[in-house]
Amino acid sequence: MLTNAPQLFTYIETVIGTLLLAGDGEALSLVGFPSGKMQHRHKAEWRREDCAFTEERLQLEAYFGGELKAFDLRLNPQGTEFQQEVWRALQEIPYGETWSYGELARLLGRPKAARAVGAANGANPLPIIVPCHRVIGASGKLTGFGGGIETKQHLLTLERMHSVPKLESD
């Protein structure tokens, strides 16, 4: 996002609380949680523009309703080249599955960089849409998440519930 471009924002209500969406009107650059370390509020110089985020709102509603497995939105997360690389790799984790930080590091060709991958994962400005919640510890334990562990558990449960094929009854 251009630094001199006006920042637009809106808030949307979801099953995990009120989310902040922010961007430049062309692409989404931030999803903020209502609590946790990724809690964000809009800045005074930003302008509220609810209709600028119609597609984001629709796709998030479909995701939380279990109808959307992959987002198709214009994104513009701001970060280092390494962070961008990690955030792209996060989008390779299939819906309803989890990978460890080590698995993600190996995918990137950096098998000893699990901690650096974890740090980049934690800096993801587009949680849910860029699914950092799908990354867990090597032991299978849920690890830190910007929206809180309860939110991470909710997202993983939602995905698992909707990724299991339904059996047809006779």
Q: Looking at 132, 136, 155, 158, which residue is catalytic?
A: 132
Any idea what the CATH number is for the domain that residue 127 is in? 1.10.10.10
Same domain, 53 and 115: no
Residue type, 66: G
Write the CB contacts of 94 (distance below 8 Å, at least 6 apart in sequence). Answer: none
Same domain, 59 and 97: no
- What percentage of the chain has pLDDT greater than the value 70? 92
Per the listing, tokens 């302008």 go with 47
What separation in angstroms does the CA of 87 have from each of 65, 90, 117, 121?
A: 24, 5, 9, 7
Residue 145 falls within a domain, yes or no? yes
What is the model's pLDDT at position 20?
95
Tens of pLDDT, residue by residue over 7-61, are: 999 999 999 999 999 999 899 999 998 777 777 888 899 999 988 899 999 999 9
Told to judge if 132 belongs to the known catalytic residues of this protein, a careful annotator would answer yes
Number of domains in the chain: 2
Least confident of 52-61, 86-95, 157-166: 157-166
Residue 1 falls within a domain, yes or no? no
Same domain, 86 and 120: yes
Rounded to two decimals, the pTM is 0.87
